[in-house]
Structure 1
Amino acid sequence: MSKPVALHVVWLRNDLRAYDNAALFHAVTAANNDADSAVLAVFVATAASWQQHHMSTIKQDFIRQRVRQLTVELAEQGVAMLALEANHYQDCRPVFAKLSALGMVALYSQPEYELREQQRDRQITADLQAAGVAVHWYDRQCVMPPGSILTQSGDTYKVFTPFKRNWLARLQQLGVRCYPRVRAEKFYDVSAIGEQLALPAMQNGDNSAAAWPVAEQQILEQMRQFCQQQVADYQRTRDFPEQAGTSGLSAYLAIGVISAQQCVNRLQLEAAVTLEQDKSGASVWLSELIWREFYKHILVAYPDLIKHNPFQADTAAIRWSNSKTLFDAWCQGKTGYPIVDAAMRQLNQTGWMHNRLRMITASFLVKDLHIDWRWGEQYFMSRLIDGDFAANNGGWQWAASTGTDAAPYFRIFNPVTQSERFDPAGNFIRRYLPELAKQSAKTIHWPHNKGTPAEYWPAVVDHNDARKITLALFAEVKKPNA
């Protein structure tokens, strides 16, 4: 009678990659050291929980397509994968209990930072440890994990610049490590257990993410080419939505097709000469990666943010107007402000929005329409292919002046001057607002001076009047106690 196989299970979530995957690396290494062991990768889709978190349908499809591709890629490395369909996060618990009964000796995974996910992981860890299963967590969401970058007094940084300074010092001190691709010596036959896990195979998505490649090698090549050929111009081109001046990697970072460690490592390899030069393209792109980590550190240190509370508590008292009519106009791209409307069309049509436009549209919703930033935060999550709670929350609170980094509430973007500066010829606007295609570069940013064109719609608010109202709303909650 053959000895049962000892299973080393890799639970994949937002680390959907074969390269630089610490959990996969350690699982394969351990299994290869024991002739009676094998590796099994597991992914569990949880559509109901995704919907509760307002995950966009395009991101859900993107994940499903990537998991199918990863199943093929892992098989080439000798690793079998089970992709299962559940409803809620809690449905994962019986899956791992069953795997424990079927011979799992160790679980390997990367932690998630949100509250419900942490609660799920604690429960499953306790269950498995009680059953004698070893549980290994490898925190690789950030180059510098939350809790590793602290002030001299041991607190989490609340302002980005000193956080970045400390982060860079630690990078110079520690460097960055990327795990190599590994191959398992024994391929596990999943057909023996698939029917015993009480969950069906993962379903197909709606194909809404079909325009986004999901092959890992292709994305790694995209990152390499960006660092080699485009990053030098990043500082000059990144704010102009008409140009392809950004890396286009945010969606892949959000679900872990590539890691931040790989990005930093590649940047060091390809742009070492300019990386330490202030305001170089390479150093500015690195700053964007550090911003991503800053918001994740903040999220872990201040879990109330997950409950949609503002970082600056006094701003919870702001009396937003919250006009449903104005909100719908913003969502549909019908505000009468061309750069705002074109940006919202881009989001609704493609599932992605240029970062400069995210700032402009967020500022407009909060400080021109006086709508609670949480409405916009949720809408973005429901549409973005690269939706990430920490980054989305951090960006919205920055724009709304309710968050970290001491952003002054009197910083209010003028959507017309922003449009003139960052889409000077109006080409981006014309791409998404064909009704303004005949407008000149001079008139397209504000086509209302001689009456609103028949093909367009009037401005829903006057920016100057709205600005005054915003200043009064914030002054009311910021005034010192009498």
Structure 2
Amino acid sequence: MAKATSLHIVWLRNDLRVFDNASLFHAAQNAREQESNAVVALYIATPTTWQQHNMAPIKQDLIRRRVKQMQQELAEQGIPLLALEADTYQDCEAIFISLVNEGMVAVYGQVEYELREQQRDNAITKQLQEKGVEVNWYDRLCIMSPGSILTQSGDTYKVFTPFKRNWLSRLQEQGVHCYSRVKGNPEFSADYLAKQLGLPVMADGDESSAAWPVAEQQVLDKMREFCQQQVADYQKTRDLPAKKGTSGLSAYLACGVISAQQCVNRLQMEAGPELEQEKSGSSVWLSELIWRDFYKHILVAYPDLIKHKPFQKDTASIKWHNNKKHFKAWCDGKTGYPLVDAAMRQLNQTGWMHNRLRMITASFLVKDLQIDWRWGEQYFMSTLIDGEFAANNGGWQWAASTGTDAAPYFRIFNPITQSERFDPEGEFIRRFVPELEHMNNKEIHWPHKKTMPDSYWPAIVDHSEARKITLALFTEVKKSDE
């Protein structure tokens, strides 16, 4: 059969999974109610818009590889996946109008929270509804959707701890629900539809993300293994970059190969009573998933954040020094502070950075170099395989003391003591800064020591002096605000 009477189109975006996909589930359910209906998954790559949003090339490649893999996985379920190459979000509208002419009766998709994504979806929804097409949006980006966790006065929480308390109560009341995978109509061909539309199919990537498996079952196995074997030690090892102490799932959560709901579901199954213990590894990992929800809730409640405005408005007047040479040294991992340099090289070489190091490098850029946090935020997004706007913006504003629930401005990480504490034997530093591999465990952390080899470079700033300068910048703003 080449053409179905009516098409139920599932528009995949950051929900690139077969299991626990609300859009696929409801599309298949509705299509079954009538004969001659087909469920067709659709992915539209928009590289120009991706570049405008500073999406890292390695993340773009991961998405392309995942979509190709998902074509095979969905084909086994009798659901064709049509992967197209457009240019910008605006080009998506024409694709959907063409699909109406091919018999599309309904569209299903997962909501996105960012401004331009909302504008795109609203425009397409309006056009399709005017043509009699049913449009269905599902909110599965958060475990608890924005607006569902509010203060007693009905406001969005601005502080994490009470948000978490309310969130956990809600979890206890309602639990989490995951959707089963579905079957489609194996007779319908996506190739036929592609020819009818006459649009370019999605291009292959550059294989820069090849170290990251993209088969859904492999990712699910990785999650299950973490929850069964590693999460118990998470509290002890998560801050040590030389250890494999984190889940390694962030890139898959960012493009939706797995959902946060699946993570919580699996954690509940494996952790048992430990999940109720405040300092257990499983409860601390759950807190990280709650932080992910928290930043998305904040983004929805305060859309100005998408315009890179500080949450604490008074900090908008800070006079950042923005030394371009210092910024380049930070980007290149050549600051003269070994752990900072090792972290930035990990990012540049692998497209990923350990979470503790994200805090240390962000603090160093803002508090030691007095460089605008937005410079760092953009660099991270342009380099990280797991870049998500809400979490990246939230993390940077936390480090810069400009955001909600932010670190007090006078709390400034000392990059040397952080190095001694979290990489005590210099194992991580040696991995990414081979110039220092012969240094002993004590001296490797100290960039001011005369014993540093000539192949390394002097520290670009003195931390104690830089700290005083930063405190003066913030004090000036706070005084003028008062």
Partner of 1:270: 270
Show structure 2 runs of 5+ residues with no match: none
RMSD (Å), alpha carbons: 1.3
8 Å Cα contact 1:80/1:187 also seen in 2: no
The alpha-carbon distance between structure 1 residues 229 and 481, as it changes in their structure 2 partners (threshold 3 A), is: closer
8 Å Cα contact 1:10/1:109 also seen in 2: yes
The alpha-carbon distance between structure 1 residues 472 and 187, as it changes in their structure 2 partners (threshold 3 A), is: farther
Distance in 1 between the 2:392 and 2:3 partners? Answer: 50
Q: Are 1:95 and 2:95 counterparts?
A: yes
- SS class of match (1:11): strand
Partner of 2:236: 236
Partner of 2:46: 46
Instruction: Kindly provide the CA deviation profile for residues 285-321 of structure 1, in whole angstroms up to 9, marking residues without a partner as x.
Output: 0000000000000001101000010000000000000
Distance in 1 between the 2:403 and 2:372 partners? Answer: 13
Distance in 1 between the 2:199 and 2:370 partners? Answer: 46
Q: CA deviation at 1:450?
A: 2.1
Distance in 2 between the 1:257 and 1:448 partners? Answer: 45
Distance in 2 between the 1:119 and 1:198 partners? Answer: 26
- SS class of match (2:14): coil
Q: CA deviation at 1:191?
A: 2.4
Alignment-mate amino acid for residue 338 of structure 1: P
Q: CA deviation at 1:100?
A: 1.1
Partner of 2:166: 166
Partner of 2:366: 366
Distance in 2 between the 1:365 and 1:56 partners? Answer: 20
Partner of 1:109: 109
Partner of 1:157: 157
Partner of 1:288: 288
8 Å Cα contact 1:55/1:381 also seen in 2: yes
Distance in 1 between the 2:346 and 2:140 partners? Answer: 32
Q: CA deviation at 1:189?
A: 1.3
Q: Are 1:336 and 2:331 counterparts?
A: no
The alpha-carbon distance between structure 1 residues 66 and 4, as it changes in their structure 2 partners (threshold 3 A), is: closer
8 Å Cα contact 2:240/2:423 also seen in 1: yes
Distance in 1 between the 2:447 and 2:145 partners? Answer: 48
Partner of 2:126: 126
Distance in 2 between the 1:381 and 1:47 partners? Answer: 15
Partner of 1:408: 408
8 Å Cα contact 1:40/1:79 also seen in 2: yes
Partner of 1:321: 321
Alignment-mate amino acid for residue 32 of structure 1: R
Distance in 2 between the 1:261 and 1:105 partners? Answer: 29
Identical-residue share of aligned pairs (%):
71
Distance in 1 between the 2:274 and 2:471 partners? Answer: 41
Q: Are 1:29 and 2:26 counterparts?
A: no
Distance in 2 between the 1:457 and 1:71 partners? Answer: 49
8 Å Cα contact 2:241/2:423 also seen in 1: yes
- SS class of match (1:193): helix
Distance in 1 between the 2:2 and 2:198 partners? Answer: 26
Query: What is the TM-score when the length of structure 1 is the normalising length?
Result: 0.98
- SS class of match (1:444): helix
Distance in 1 between the 2:91 and 2:158 partners? Answer: 36
Aligned ranges for residues 62-81 of structure 1 at < 5 Å? 62-81=62-81
Instruction: Kindly provide the CA deviation profile for residues 54-104 of structure 1, in whole angstroms up to 9, marking residues without a partner as x.
Output: 001000000000000000000000000100001101111111111112111
Instruction: Give the total of aligned pairs.
Output: 482
- SS class of match (2:211): coil
Instruction: Kindly provide the CA deviation profile for residues 151-179 of structure 1, in whole angstroms up to 9, marking residues without a partner as x.
Output: 11111110000110111111111110000
The alpha-carbon distance between structure 1 residues 447 and 481, as it changes in their structure 2 partners (threshold 3 A), is: closer
Partner of 2:438: 438
Runs of 4+ in 1 over 3 A off after TM superposition: 1-4
Partner of 2:387: 387
Instruction: Kindly provide the CA deviation profile for residues 318-353 of structure 1, in whole angstroms up to 9, marking residues without a partner as x.
Output: 000000000000000000000000000000000000
8 Å Cα contact 1:447/1:453 also seen in 2: no
Partner of 2:220: 220
8 Å Cα contact 2:2/2:189 also seen in 1: no
Alignment-mate amino acid for residue 199 of structure 1: L
